[in-house]
């Protein structure tokens, strides 16, 4: 069972109530949202995966916090495939250099890439974004960096997951499909 949370404190609270694998539990907790560096301590302690690694400074801080907890955190590098300014993630052109940068940390294990596609009514409208993510994934995988294992391509959400799967997604975000719309109050 894999569950995700996009807010660090909520993940901490949920993981305390139902521990993840890192804490001896039976589910796998993913932190799927943007993370401020000062919240890296929660991820290093409670998240089984961090799916939104998007800056050198965050990688350094998370590595430091994971070392203090004597663990390696599996991560996905977040790519801003849409180019939308309001979305987090790396410019696709920076992906190769960033993954090489992250590979030097002993307490981070980069396992793949993640991106949020444009939010559209017709899922076919984001097929090109998913294809570009798959191309980035395959291009880096071909470099054979032994410190980066390209195992997961996390693309697709409740509204477009079928197209994402067709384009190679191995992991998606289906919270709305499973639990219904989220109440943020």
- pTM score, whole prediction: 0.90
Residue-wise pLDDT tens digits, 55-66: 999 999 999 999
What per-residue confidence (pLDDT) applies to 122? 93
Q: How many angstroms separate the CA atoms of 34 and 135, rounded?
A: 24
Mark the ranges of the chain whose per-residue pLDDT is less than 50: none
pLDDT for position 16: 87
| Alpha-carbon radius of gyration of the chain | 16
CA distance 156 to 171: 8
Give me the pLDDT at residue 109, please.
Answer: 96
Q: In this predicted model, what pLDDT tens digit does every residue of 73-114 receive, in sequence order? A: 999 999 999 999 999 999 999 999 999 999 999 999 999 999
- Only one residue has tokens 């719309």, namely 181
DSSP state of 174: -
Per the CB < 8 A criterion, the answer to whether 85 and 118 are in contact is no
Q: Which domains does the chain have, with CATH numbers?
A: 2-179 (3.20.20.10)
CA distances (Å), origin 71, targets 44, 49, 66, 67, 159: 8, 12, 5, 6, 35
Nearest to 95 by CA among 61, 123, 63, 134: 134
Q: What is the mean pLDDT of the chain?
A: 90
Q: CA 94 to CA 82: how far, in whole Å?
A: 14
Place of tokens 């309001």: 86
């Amino acid at each position: 069972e894999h569950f995700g949370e996009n807010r660090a404190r909520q993940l901490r609270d949920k993981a305390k109530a139902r521990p993840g694998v890192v804490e001896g539990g039976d589910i796998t907790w993913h932190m799927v949202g943007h993370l401020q560096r000062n919240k890296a301590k929660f991820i290093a302690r409670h998240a089984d995966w961090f799916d939104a690694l998007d800056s050198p400074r965050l990688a350094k801080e998370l590595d430091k916090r994971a070392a203090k907890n004597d663990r390696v955190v599996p991560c996905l590098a977040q790519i801003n495939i849409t180019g939308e300014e309001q979305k987090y993630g790396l410019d696709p052109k920076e992906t190769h250099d960033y993954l090489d940068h992250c590979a030097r940390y002993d307490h981070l294990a980069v396992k793949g890439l993640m991106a949020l596609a444009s939010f559209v009514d017709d899922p076919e409208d984001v097929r090109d974004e998913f294809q570009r993510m798959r191309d980035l994934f395959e291009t880096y995988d071909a470099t054979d960096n032994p410190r980066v294992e390209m195992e997961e391509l996390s693309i697709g959400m409740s509204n477009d997951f079928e197209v994402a799967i067709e384009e190679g997604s191995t992991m998606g975000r289906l919270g709305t499909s499973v639990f219904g719309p989220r109440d943020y109050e």
